[in-house]
Chains A and B, each alone.
Chain A
Amino acid sequence: MSRPTILGYARPDGKVGIRNHLLVMSTVVCSSFVARRIADQVQGAVAIENPFGCGQLEPDLEVTRRTLIGMAKNPNVGGVLVVGLGCEQIQADDLVKEIEKTGKPVEKVVVQEVDGGTPAAIEKGVTLLRRMAEDVLSQKPEEVDVSNLVMGVECGGSDATSGLASNPVVGYASDKLIDLGGTVILSETPEMIGAEEILARRAVSREVGDRIIRVVRKWVDLAASHGVDLVGTQPAPGNIAGGISTIEEKSLGAIIKGGSRAIQGVVDYAEEVKGKGLWIMDTPGYDIMSVVGMVAGGATLVVFTTGRGTPTGNPIAPVIKVTANPFTAKKMRENMDFDASTVTLGQETIEQAGEKLFKLIMDVARGKPTRAELLGFREFVIHKIIPSF
């Protein structure tokens, strides 16, 4: 059988995207409105409204900075306009310097440096971005090998059908992509609690296995420091009523969406994955934060399972919504991309539904828009590790 190909945008740094966005990114919440106004006026542009960028302690600031740079470096982005205020902690120049390393076009506008305030800054930004758009939007995608795809897997609004059907179906597609030489990112480390030893046994080395156990247990300790017991209270009464007997079973129901292949390594939130195969990213279980972390870490496509039906997307990565709940598949049909309820109803096997999902993933990687893209969902939240000061 011939290998599948996807339609990719080859970037100067050798990475390949499946979308071609112009990114308008604010360094701080104070310049977010200006960023949005600029993006609204240029075709192909999307704004990232950074809610932080000031009043942060350095380790927390570093997470924000890494996330912004990661979003800009993501190969789904063809060109970047950085919009700063001027007096904030995250300086536009520092971001520009980092993003320039990719060889992509990068420009900046700093509101306090423009004569006239925000209206003049918006005008300047629109002019710069239009010029950039002429070049970036002229780029045509090419047939490239499927191994260029970096897929993040996520679940949110879960119910009993998530662990039963949608996550195993996504797991099938994850294994298939990895076997074809692609990359999969599995995140939400707090949801791995109880299954960390199982995951550690799948690590390529002792060192990686130890790190898996460390990053998972860190969340147990963090919750405990706030007086919350994450282990003893799991599975929750609702889970038990739904048929989940142990914390291992609950965690495995989430983890299975990453498939069953060897775990190559663990990266921090929004840190770039360092090779092909299956990777773990240490992120919160909060789905939007987790998706943003994976996209900042290089995911060019996200597959997102949901039982209850969540509509969320991402500013630069297509998010494929999968549900195995027959009621959600019907009620939330305008938001769902893939109906895996055939497995829940016993009409299809995980393999059969998994093959169909993989074909949809290939279609989306060849330009087919997802429902979240069509409906304009672009949620963006950054993980925070220390309160603002």
Chain B
Amino acid sequence: MGTPAIVLNPSDNVAIALRDLKQNESVELIIGNSKLPIKLLNDIPFGHKFAIKGIRMCDYVIKYGHVIGRAKRNIGIGEHVHVHNVESLTAVHSVCKGGKP
């Protein structure tokens, strides 16, 4: 079996699960030439994201080396990153209005 998750760009703060991953599972990510062990805080279904760096409320979520949204609250390493804790920069009812852009 291959690597369990992929980091699409070295500057990303999320990885993508390449299979259904379980809470408390430890995964080893390959980023360039280095390896990064992460313990998962939630179940992460195939294709879904989890944080590989701590992301503070209203910080950018980075995938493909680009901003894909903003954290709606603090997100810990290994935590599921999805609609419950990420908002679009175009969000009408942003929790970050007046906060960090």
Contacts and interface: CB of A to CB of B under 8 A. Distances in A.
A350 interface: yes
A194 B30 CA distance: 30
Contacts of B82: 240, 243, 245
A76 interface: no
A245 B83 contact: yes
A30 interface: no
Chain B CB within 10 A, most for which of A168, A243, A245: A245
A197 B69 CA distance: 13
Contact of A246 (B8, B45, B64, B86): B86
A34 interface: no
B4 interface: yes
3 nearest A-B residue pairs (beta carbon): A346-B2, A243-B48, A346-B3
Nearest to B83: A245
A248 interface: yes
A344 B87 contact: no
Contact of B69 (A160, A164, A249, A343): A249
A246 B30 contact: no
B66 A245 contact: no
Contacts of B36: none
A345 B2 contact: yes
Given A198-B66, A245-B83, A346 B4 contact: yes
Nearest to A260: B65
Given A249-B69, A346-B4, A346-B6, A160 B46 contact: yes
Contact of A252 (B47, B68, B81): B68
A249 B47 contact: no
Contacts of B83: 240, 245
Interface of A: 160-161, 164-165, 168, 194-195, 197-198, 231, 240, 242-243, 245-249, 252-253, 256, 260, 342-350
B48 to A, nearest CB: 4
A342 B67 CA distance: 26
B90 to A, nearest CB: 6
A220 B12 CA distance: 29
B37 to A, nearest CB: 16
Contacts, number: 83
Contacts of B68: 245-246, 248-249, 252
A198 B47 contact: no
A195 B63 CA distance: 13
Contact of B2 (A198, A245, A347): A347
B48 A252 contact: no
A245 B81 contact: yes
B68 to A, nearest CB: 4
A350 B8 contact: yes
B18 A248 contact: no
Nearest to A250: B68
A231 B66 CA distance: 19
18 contacts: A161-B47, A240-B82, A243-B45, A243-B48, A243-B49, A245-B82, A245-B83, A246-B68, A246-B87, A246-B88, A247-B88, A249-B68, A256-B8, A260-B65, A343-B6, A346-B2, A346-B19, A350-B6
Nearest to B68: A249
Contacts of A198: 66-67
A171 to B, nearest CB: 8
Given A246-B86, A345-B2, A252 B63 contact: yes
Given A164-B16, A164-B47, A248 B89 contact: yes
Interface string B73-101: 00000000111001111100000000000
Contacts of A240: 82-83
Contacts of A160: 46-47
A108 B45 CA distance: 59
A350 B68 CA distance: 20
Contact of A245 (B6, B49, B64, B65): B49
B66 A346 contact: no
Interface string B1-45: 111111010000000111100000000001000000000000001
Given A246-B69, A248-B89, A168 B18 contact: no
